[in-house]
Copies of this chain bind each other. A is one copy, B any other.
Amino acid sequence: MTAIVAVDTHDIRFPTSLALDGSDAMNPDPDYSAAYLVIRTDAEDGLEGHAFVFTIGRGNDVEVAALDTLRGHLIGRDVEDLLADMGAASRLLLHDSQLRWLGPEKGVMHMAIGAVVNALWDLRAKRAGQPLWLHLASLSPEELVSLVDFRYLSDAITPGEALEILRAAEPGRAERIARLQETGYPAYTTSPGWLGYSDEKLERLCREAVADGFPQIKLKVGADLDDDIRRLAIARKTVGPDFPIAIDANQRWDVADAIAWVNALAQFDLAWIEEPTSPDDVLGHAAIARGVAPIRVATGEHVQNRVIFKQLLQAGGMDVMQIDATRVGGVNENIANLLLAAKFGVPVCPHAGGVGLCEAVQHLSMFDYVAVSGTMEGRMVEYVDHLHEHFVTPTVVERGRYRAPSAPGAGTEMFPASIAEFAWSAPQMVAR
């Protein structure tokens, strides 16, 4: 038997607030952080499962405490058993009724469970010698369906319907894998658009984004309408009339404000409005979608689980689904989300950036292309050029496309030196 012998956790924080990287209407000073997890076994292969929850600073210690409390579910377990049935592995954690009380299926504890699930997938993909996207795309429709917890979903999608979607995408998998390996997957960039940047920096970064081959840019909005109009005018002038510009309000508005504000910016021909209001407000998103049409509503980076995603689709409140790799219950729940999107015919354009989110979520979009939706049409993964240097197998984005990862694993392993250098210690943080 090969057993899990250790679950190491790390509180890692990068002082990104010093440069206003990542500043938006709701998050003026994020310190991009990772509640980081390493699962080690007694196997001779020495392979480890690495994953993390992305946070923006304070509270990262609470997320680490949640990871620590899951250790008891892992130590001593037979790794072969656990990895052979990842549906059961996920349920082992999600169905712990005492832990479930802390959500249920939302917030700190749910994200911690997601990180454990993701670390197990990283380990499994490494053992299979495959990058995660290819590993997932090699599973049968039946295996994929077995990964999903359909509880609370059956009024929107049944296991049978999920199977149909996956079977319909089976022909052509090999061809799509080859195409991905050849041409990669579309990326769009948020780098120009942070609120804290000067107009000159905005203009320069817009110019660079176009020159770099990105098919879309995104600007943060929602702090001040006059500023938004000025910044969008600069961006529109810089990128030209036909280049897609999305905007992102980071939950800043109530429903009526969202509709009025977005319509005041509609003159700039917007690709989508992202997070116009609370991520919990399904009915609010639906009202906003009606009020700002034909501008599309995008959301998802803070959507807590598949139950909210389901309703956003049912209510017509989400035209673009933005899954996040570390917000929900890991790869398994994101497969549920991808299936829901496919069922409702909504494109998935994942949230990324932060630290390691690009590395993690690219695998899910590539898997979606090969085995679920079967298309890249209207799909792209967010890209922000931050902190990739800390990862053993960083994303490679060239000419506006993510190169398909070839290294085994989920891409979420940081260098030991980075973990050590940015290990957080409370007194320093208080002093800042």
**Which positions in A face B, CB cutoff 8 Å?**
26-31, 55-59, 61-63, 65-66, 69, 72, 96-112, 151-155, 251, 254-257, 277-284, 287, 302, 304-305, 307-308, 310-311, 314-315, 430
Contacts and interface: CB of A to CB of B under 8 A. Distances in A.
A106 B109 contact: no
6 contacts: A58-B69, A62-B69, A102-B111, A107-B107, A154-B254, A284-B307
Contacts of A31: 98
Contact of A69 (B59, B104, B251, B280): B59
Contact of A56 (B29, B61, B98): B98
Contact of A62 (B65, B281, B308): B65
B97 A30 contact: yes
A202 B18 CA distance: 62
A301 to B, nearest CB: 10
Contacts of A430: 72
User: Top 7 closest A-B pairs, CB basis?
Assistant: A107-B107, A65-B65, A108-B108, A57-B98, A58-B98, A155-B255, A280-B307
Given A278-B307, A282-B282, A56 B251 contact: no
Given A104-B279, A108-B107, A315-B283, A152 B254 contact: yes
A308 to B, nearest CB: 6
A78 to B, nearest CB: 19
Contact of A66 (B29, B62, B112, B255): B62
A180 B97 CA distance: 38
A101 B56 CA distance: 7
Nearest to A111: B102
B61 A69 contact: yes
Given A65-B61, A101-B27, A281 B311 contact: yes
A257 B56 CA distance: 40
Given A109-B108, A155-B287, A254-B153, A101 B282 contact: no
Nearest to A24: B97
